[in-house]
Structures are given as structure tokens and as C-alpha cells.
């Protein structure tokens, strides 16, 4: 009888698992792209609303004879993420190999410079020196860091603080940004008081003061500090949410400088530059469904001569109980974002700003995000998905 009971229990368990596997969750898609420019290709994703306001002009491209072109690809490694570069050209023509080698070196130099300037894990990077400096101190920084901080402050103001790169302690407390380990239970999560202190400190990001004198660049750290336990903490930065986009902007310039019209540069799949495709002109871009196992595309559109940034809660996350903790921190709560927005993609404009904007929109929640996109992002293509 025991075996019989076990068999029935196993069959029931199998049935429940099969039912759970078959049960489909439907997600909502919001976009400001005109309906003619995209298709929804996964039935799990339903268009919830077309947001008004998109009016960017499409660039015109001349047809070019590319019959002699071949494509070369190579990986680059940076502290922020792996990158992949594809360039198409007639590599048999005089000087083409030399030009390609120089171009690769220039790309590598940009990535190294960005690491040296912006990585919080590289010793003596500008960001590390800022983080180690005492409150109120002014330090000299590279032009790259100055530019990125300027962009960060612009998006911080544009989004009313929904993008905030000063949430360093919150990111670390929740186990992201190079922290040693994730919390494994609720008791290992930071206390509400601690989170409130970290968030209060970050809310003073607007006081970060940038200046330029005689070709040198400076940043002054805010005077404000908080005390957590017995420690007095001054502001620390994590520019991971904007640095990759900045590198993509610089490499876009290198494509033009070295005369390459065809190819793409993918920096960690979160910031991508699309030049023209040598076969088809445009790239058939598929945005893969957040939280989907097979990574099939839920939306397809064409891109050419544009930069893209995307953020989602499906790359870096963990679950405690039924709560999902992802790497994007909401500046309003100081905790991993719980607004229901699962992913955001911004196409067009500068990639550094787009990189920061995707993070900000994730933190806004659906209604505020729609209002923001309609009011302030009328020159970019924005798509986001909700639970």
C-alpha cells in the first residue's frame, strides 16, 4: 500500500508541476514607437499602451557597394563588462589592415581609460579616489569623469532624482556592485534604519560640485555625512549605470574617425551602438523577454545609426521568499526596485544619457514613467515591460 500511495503522490506531484509549467504569465508592454515600426513576437507580452510623443526624425542612408566587404569581430574585456566589436569593410584595400589595427587599439584605449576613470573596483580610479576622499574635499579628475558626472547630474535633475549614482552603500548592502555575497535570508538584509541612512546620504548627490580651471577638471565631495553604527560615512559613487553608455558614445566617434560605416559595438548587452548592417542596411533587433528562460524576442524593430541602452531586473537578482531583489536600487526607498517595471529600453540620442534614463524609468513605476516619456523623452524610442 505504501508503494501505491507513493505512486499516487508522485503522479499528483508530476501533474502539479506540469500544470505550473504550462501556466503562462502575461506581461504588459508600453512603447512610444509608432505601431508601424515594431512587431510584438511573443504572445506572453501584450501591448498595454502606445505612449504618445515620439517624433524623432529617421536618418537617411545612401546605398553603397559593399560586395567586397567582409566582417571582423573581436572581444574586448573591461572591468565593467565584456564587449564585442564587429566591423565590416573591404579589408583587402591598401592600408585597411593597418587602419583596422589602429581602430582596435583606439577602442581598447577608450575602454581602459573608462576603467581607470570610472570603475569603483579599480584602485586609484577617479571614482575610487572620490569614494576614499573625506567629505568636503576637492579632487582632480580626468575629463572623462568630468563629462560622465556632468551627464549624471543632468539626468539626476531631469528625472527628479530617479537616477542617482550615489546609492553606492545601498547597492553594496544588497549584495551588488562587486559585494562579496548576496543576503541569503531576510535576517541578512540591511535594516530599515541603515537603508534610510544610506538613502539620505545619496539624496545629497545634487551637491556634488564640478568645476574646470586651466584645462583641469575637479569634483568637490559634498560635506554631508551620516553615521551608521559607529562609522561616519561620506558619499560614494557607482557610475556603472552610465559608464558603459559613455564608452559607447566615444566608440561611436571612433567609428566615424576611422571611416567605418558598418558594424556594431555591444558593451555588455546593456549599451549597444548600431551602425549600418553590411547585408541589409538596418539591423533586425529583437528585445528578449525579461525573465524568460529561452530568451526569445518579445518585440522586434529595425535600428540603424542609433545607440541603445537597456536595463532589466533579470540579469542580476536573487529571491528571498517571494520577493525579488535586483541590482537596480530605487532612490525613493533605497531598496531594490519593486515598481513592477521589469525592463526598459531606450533607443536614440546619446548612450550615456540613455544608460542612466533606463535605470531612472525602472524606478518611476508605470504611470510616472508614461508621463515622463510623453513629456521629456520625445526624441527617443522608449519601450518598457511591466508585470
Partner 1 sequence: MSLKKIEQVKRDKGFKIFDLIIYGVLVVTVAVLFIVFFTTRNTNPLTGVRVFVQAKIVFEYEFGKEPVFTESVTADDVEENSSSLTVTVRTKDGVNVLYINKEKKTVKMKDADCKGKQCLYFQPISDNNKFIYCSPHGLRVEPLLKDLDNPDIII
The nearer residue to partner 1, 10 or 49, going by C-beta atoms, is: 10
The nearer residue to partner 1, 315 or 374, going by C-beta atoms, is: 315
Distances (CA, A) of 111 to 58, 78, 143, 158, 304: 29, 6, 14, 27, 23
Q: Which of 83, 111, 148, 287 binds partner 1 (CB under 8 A)?
A: 287
- Segment interacting with partner 1, rule: CB under 8 A, options 146-154, 161-169, 261-269, 358-366: 261-269
Q: Does 100 bind partner 1 (CB under 8 A)?
A: yes
- Segment interacting with partner 1, rule: CB under 8 A, options 116-124, 173-181, 263-271, 330-338: 263-271
- Segment interacting with partner 1, rule: CB under 8 A, options 102-110, 146-154, 167-175, 244-252: 102-110
Q: How many residues in the shown chain lie near partner 1 by CB under 8 A?
A: 40
| 44 closest CA partner among 387, 353, 358 | 387
- For the bound state, the minimum distance from the C-beta of residue 148 to partner 1, rounded and expressed in Å, comes to 23
Residue with C-alpha cell 566615424?
A: 256
Q: Does 272 bind partner 1 (CB under 8 A)?
A: yes
Look at the alpha carbons of 257, 261, 266, 269 in this order and tell me if their dihedral is positive or negative: positive
| 24 closest CA partner among 50, 46, 7 | 46
Residues 6+ apart with CB under 8 A from 49: 30, 370
Alpha carbon 327 to its chain centroid, in Å, reads 11
- Segment interacting with partner 1, rule: CB under 8 A, options 22-30, 156-164, 202-210, 276-284: 276-284
The nearer residue to partner 1, 279 or 319, going by C-beta atoms, is: 279
Q: Does 4 bind partner 1 (CB under 8 A)?
A: yes
Q: Does 288 bind partner 1 (CB under 8 A)?
A: yes
- For the bound state, the minimum distance from the C-beta of residue 303 to partner 1, rounded and expressed in Å, comes to 9
- For the bound state, the minimum distance from the C-beta of residue 283 to partner 1, rounded and expressed in Å, comes to 5
DSSP string, 90-129: -TTSTTHHHHHHHHHHHHHHHHHHHHHHH-TTSTT-HHHH
Rg of the chain over all Cα atoms, to the nearest angstrom: 23
CB atoms within 10 A of CB 188: 11
Q: Does 286 bind partner 1 (CB under 8 A)?
A: yes
Strands of the chain (E only): list them.
Answer: 27-31, 38-40, 45-50, 70-77, 82-89, 138-141, 209-213, 216-220, 225-228, 231-234, 262-267, 271-274, 283-288, 297-303, 306-312, 317-320, 323-326, 341-347, 381-386
Whether 201 contacts 115, CB under 8 Å: no
The nearer residue to partner 1, 217 or 274, going by C-beta atoms, is: 274
Residue 158 is given by DSSP the state: H
User: What values do phi and psi take at 336, rounded to 5?
Assistant: -55, 140
Q: Which of 201, 278, 352, 382 binds partner 1 (CB under 8 A)?
A: 278
The nearer residue to partner 1, 194 or 269, going by C-beta atoms, is: 269
The nearer residue to partner 1, 302 or 368, going by C-beta atoms, is: 302
Burial of 151 (0-12, 13-18, 19+ CB in 10 A): buried
Q: Does 310 bind partner 1 (CB under 8 A)?
A: yes
Q: Which of 92, 97, 157, 211 binds partner 1 (CB under 8 A)?
A: 97
Site string for partner 1, 62-81 (x = CB under 8 A): ---------xxxxx------
- Segment interacting with partner 1, rule: CB under 8 A, options 98-106, 159-167, 245-253, 377-385: 98-106
Q: Give the interface with partner 1 as residue ranges (CB under 8 A).
A: 3-4, 6-7, 10, 71-75, 86, 88, 91, 97-98, 100-101, 103-105, 264, 266, 269, 272, 277-280, 282-288, 295-297, 308, 310
Amino acid at each position: 500500500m505504501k508503494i501505491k500511495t507513493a505512486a499516487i503522490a508522485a503522479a499528483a506531484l508530476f501533474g502539479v508541476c506540469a500544470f505550473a509549467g504550462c501556466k503562462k504569465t502575461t506581461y504588459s508592454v508600453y512603447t512610444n514607437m509608432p505601431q508601424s515600426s515594431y512587431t510584438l513576437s511573443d504572445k506572453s507580452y501584450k501591448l498595454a499602451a502606445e505612449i504618445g510623443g515620439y517624433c524623432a526624425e529617421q536618418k537617411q542612408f545612401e546605398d553603397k557597394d559593399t560586395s567586397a566587404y567582409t566582417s571582423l569581430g573581436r572581444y574586448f574585456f573591461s572591468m565593467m563588462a565584456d564587449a564585442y566589436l564587429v566591423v565590416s569593410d573591404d579589408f583587402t584595400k591598401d592600408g585597411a589592415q593597418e587602419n583596422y589595427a589602429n581602430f582596435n587599439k583606439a577602442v581598447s584605449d577608450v575602454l581602459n581609460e573608462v576603467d581607470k576613470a570610472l570603475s569603483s573596483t579599480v584602485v586609484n580610479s577617479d571614482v575610487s579616489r572620490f569614494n576614499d576622499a573625506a567629505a568636503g574635499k576637492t579632487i582632480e579628475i580626468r575629463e572623462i569623469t568630468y563629462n560622465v558626472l556632468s551627464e549624471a547630474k543632468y539626468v539626476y535633475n531631469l528625472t527628479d532624482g530617479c537616477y542617482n549614482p550615489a546609492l553606492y552603500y545601498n547597492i553594496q548592502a544588497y549584495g551588488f556592485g562587486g559585494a562579496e555575497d548576496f543576503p541569503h535570508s531576510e535576517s541578512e538584509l540591511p535594516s530599515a534604519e541603515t537603508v534610510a541612512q544610506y538613502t539620505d546620504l545619496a539624496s545629497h548627490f545634487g551637491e556634488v560640485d564640478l568645476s574646470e580651471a586651466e584645462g583641469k577638471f575637479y569634483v568637490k565631495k559634498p560635506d554631508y555625512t551620516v553615521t551608521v553604527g559607529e562609522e561616519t560615512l561620506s558619499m560614494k559613487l557607482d557610475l556603472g549605470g552610465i559608464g558603459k553608455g559613455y564608452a559607447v558614445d566615444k566608440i561611436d566617434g571612433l567609428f566615424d574617425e576611422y571611416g567605418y560605416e558598418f558594424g556594431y559595438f555591444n558593451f555588455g548587452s546593456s549599451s549597444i551602438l548600431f551602425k549600418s548592417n553590411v547585408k541589409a542596411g538596418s539591423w533586425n533587433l529583437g528585445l528578449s523577454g525579461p525573465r524568460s528562460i529561452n530568451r526569445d524576442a518579445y518585440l522586434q524593430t529595425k535600428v540603424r545609426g542609433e545607440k541603445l541602452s537597456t536595463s532589466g531586473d533579470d540579469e542580476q537578482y536573487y529571491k528571498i521568499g517571494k520577493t525579488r531583489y535586483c541590482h537596480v536600487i530605487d532612490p525613493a526607498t533605497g531598496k531594490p526596485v519593486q515598481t513592477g517595471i521589469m525592463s526598459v529600453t531606450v533607443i536614440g540620442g546619446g548612450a550615456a544619457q540613455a544608460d542612466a534614463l533606463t535605470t531612472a524609468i525602472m524606478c518611476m513605476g508605470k504611470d510616472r514613467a508614461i508621463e515622463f516619456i510623453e513629456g521629456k523623452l520625445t526624441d527617443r524610442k522608449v519601450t518598457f515591460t511591466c508585470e
